[in-house]
């Protein structure tokens, strides 16, 4: 894996040495980075939402009288988890359309 990574970096140097200052490669890497970043953010958000829902269901099963309070807290927690994914989306859109690296 290390050899592949070093080869990837070495080939990147040749790509940036091409015409128009490597702007095409920067755009291509920005697209790849945006896709990977959004994928990781969505994965983390999905795991967090699953744990939140499981804890709420377990709490409601133990004490049904607190079900409404637990649901309210769960929805607030889910909104905060989803906000992190939306922030990643905004950063990815900035990297794609208003690329600061060009």
- Residue ranges making up the domain that contains 32: 22-97
Structurally, how many domains does the chain consist of?
1
Which of these, 46, 57, 56, lies nearest to 76 by C-alpha position?
Answer: 56
Instruction: State the CATH number of the domain containing residue 64.
Output: 1.20.20.10
Q: Tell whether 47 is covered by a domain.
A: yes
Residues 21-43: tens digit of each pLDDT: 667 777 888 888 888 989 999 99
The pTM assigned to this predicted structure is 0.71
Q: Tell whether 1 is covered by a domain.
A: no
Q: Tell whether 66 is covered by a domain.
A: yes
Q: Tell whether 80 is covered by a domain.
A: yes
Residues 37-72: tens digit of each pLDDT: 899 999 999 999 999 999 999 999 999 999 999 999
The confidence score (pLDDT) of residue 61 equals 95
Q: Tell whether 79 is covered by a domain.
A: yes
> Which H/E stretch holds residue 41?
helix 23-62
Both tokens of 87, joined, read 């922030």
The confidence score (pLDDT) of residue 71 equals 94
């Amino acid at each position: 894996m290390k050899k592949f990574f070093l080869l990837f970096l070495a080939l990147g140097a040749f790509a940036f040495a091409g015409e128009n200052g490597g702007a095409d490669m920067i755009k291509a890497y920005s697209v790849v980075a945006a896709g990977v970043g959004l994928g990781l953010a969505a994965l983390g958000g999905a795991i967090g939402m699953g744990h939140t829902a499981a804890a709420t269901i377990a709490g409601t099963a133990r004490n049904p009288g607190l079900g409404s309070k637990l649901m309210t807290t769960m929805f607030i927690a889910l909104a905060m988890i989803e906000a992190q994914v939306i922030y990643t989306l905004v950063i990815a859109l900035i990297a794609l359309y208003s690329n600061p690296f060009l």
